[in-house]
Amino acid sequence: MSKQRTHANTMRELERKKQIAEMKCEERKLKVEIFRLSIPFRLCIKFNKLIVLLCVAAIVSYTIAAILLQKYIGIEISPTLTTCVFTFFGTELLGLAGIKMVDTKFNSEQNPLDSDAVG
């Protein structure tokens, strides 16, 4: 009998903890939603645009670092490394541009405008 009561007590306590955890989860979700609504601007950057921004930022920061190293320390960064960095990020940007062009072409062919349409 005592094991059953202990088990029943344990189950009641676990159910109570589960309810508390669910209420805390709902509270966190509401706080996040309130925070998002209180922000005067929205950060809705598409993935492609984010990658382009990161590529440009990486190229600019690499160039600035290379110039500063050469100016103040007198060390030139390896030309092979510079070529590889610019090639990598250039290829990424060209790849994204190619994907965008193919998607645009595919979407325009899939949804052609009606030539009979008035407007």
User: What pTM was computed for the model?
Assistant: 0.55
Q: Are residues 66 and 101 in the same domain?
A: yes
The answer to whether residue 114 sits within a structural domain is no
Residue 115 dihedral angles phi and psi, to the nearest 5°: -75, -20
Q: How confident is the model at residue 113 (pLDDT cuts 50, 70, 90)?
A: low
The answer to whether residue 39 sits within a structural domain is yes
Report, as an integer, the average pLDDT of 58-83.
93
The answer to whether residue 115 sits within a structural domain is no
The answer to whether 51 and 17 have CB atoms below 8 angstroms apart is: no
Q: Which two tokens stand for residue 89?
A: 């990020």
| Res. 116: pLDDT tops 80 | no
DSSP string, 69-102: IIIII-PPPPHHHHHHHHHHHHHHHHHHHHHHHH
* Residues 29-60: b if buried by 16+ CB within 10 A, e if exposed: eeeeeeeeeeeeeeeeeeeeeeebeebeeebe
| Res. 119: pLDDT tops 70 | no
The reported pLDDT for the residue numbered 69 is 92
Q: Whole domain around residue 83: which residue ranges?
A: 47-109
The answer to whether residue 117 sits within a structural domain is no
Q: How many domains does the chain have?
A: 2
